[in-house]
Structure 1
Amino acid sequence: MRKPLNALLATLMVVSGGGLIALSSATSAAAAAPRCNWSASYYGAWVPNYGTTSVNVDCSLVQGVNSVGVGTLQETLNMCYGESLVVDRDFGPGTRAALIRAQQRAGTTADGEYGPLTRKALKHKPTSGTTCVRVP
């Protein structure tokens, strides 16, 4: 179904004021990845992870999710970006707003969704020490 959707989006280009405006799909890259339900030590940092038995950091978090991975993100936002979130593992409006601020500081798309691109852009809570770590 991916090709028909892309073809449909290509036909939905709108000419407005001499410029083209592309209408985007409602599905983001973060929404396409599995939900982060755990936490893993990855390149010297604690990173949201999918699964409990192997390292799969290509996962996503969005508002409404409640998981260990959200708690890890909240700890990262507190330690590395000066936020004061309650680490309750609940991705609510406060976590979303804090993530948007961190995404802006990191120079990535500030959409309030955590996925592979945000993982690579943010610095994360280190597994040891106090220096936040950027991971691949």
Structure 2
Amino acid sequence: MIKIRNGRAKSAMAVGALLSGLLGGVLAGAPSATAAVADSPCSYGAYIYNKVTNPTSYKYIPYVTGDLSNCWLDRGMSNTAVRALQKNLNSCYGYKLATDGDFGGLTESALIDVQKKVGVAADGDYGPNTRNAMVWANYSVETGARISCN
């Protein structure tokens, strides 16, 4: 069973789809001709738990209420979803960004570098294709320490 700690999310189906992509190893190697288009800006950072696959860890990812898989972030935004992206860029890709939740030039530059590494359009905008191609940190439920990135 999948559980979301933040009570604002309304769609367990979206969580399942996202986790199957993140945890199931189905990561996009390159964008398709019919690339996913995000509908809404990401507005929160979600602590995603998967009690079936790995009950001792969680991932902290950007999401929008009601749909974890289809949101976007870009320069100028400021919220906890940006903080989740910054934390992951630091944790899994070795950047040293301030996790202040402000999507500025340094966050954009780091994201462009990562987009080039993972083979998606390097435009500095975070959306479904970038999310699916990136690796995400797994954190210990007990200690909060990073366990791995996958």
- TM-score normalised by length of structure 1: 0.68
Give the aligned partner of residue 94 of structure 1: 106
Q: Which protein has the bigger strand share? A: 2
What is the RMSD computed on CA atoms of the aligned residues?
2.0
**CA distance in 2: counterparts of 1:126 and 1:98, whole angstroms:** 20
Corresponding position: 1:131 with 2:145: no
Choose between structure 1 and 2 for higher RCO, CA contacts under 8 A separated by at least 6 residues: 2
Deviation at 1:107, TM superposition (A): 1.3
The counterpart of 2:69, out of the listed 57, 69, 85, is 57
**Higher helix residue share:** 1
Q: What are the ranges of 5 or more consecutive residues in structure 1 without an aligned counterpart?
A: 1-27
Distance 2:89 2:82 in 1: 10
Alignment size in residue pairs = 103
Where do 5+ consecutive residues of structure 2 fail to align?
Answer: 1-34, 51-57, 141-145
Query: Identity of paired residues, percent?
Result: 37
Q: Aligned pair 1:37/2:43, yes or no?
A: yes
Specify the structure having the higher radius of gyration (Cα): 1
Stretches of 4+ moved more than 3 A in 1?
A: 41-44
Question: In the TM superposition, what is the alpha-carbon distance from 1:73 to its structure 2 partner?
Answer: 0.2
Write the letter of the residue equivalent to 2:45: S
Equivalent residue runs for 1:1-136 within 5 Å: 32-42=38-48, 44-51=58-65, 54=66, 56-128=68-140, 129-133=146-150
- AA aligned opposite 1:132: C
Going from structure 1 to structure 2, the CA distance change for 1:127 and 1:33 (only over 3 Å counts) comes to farther
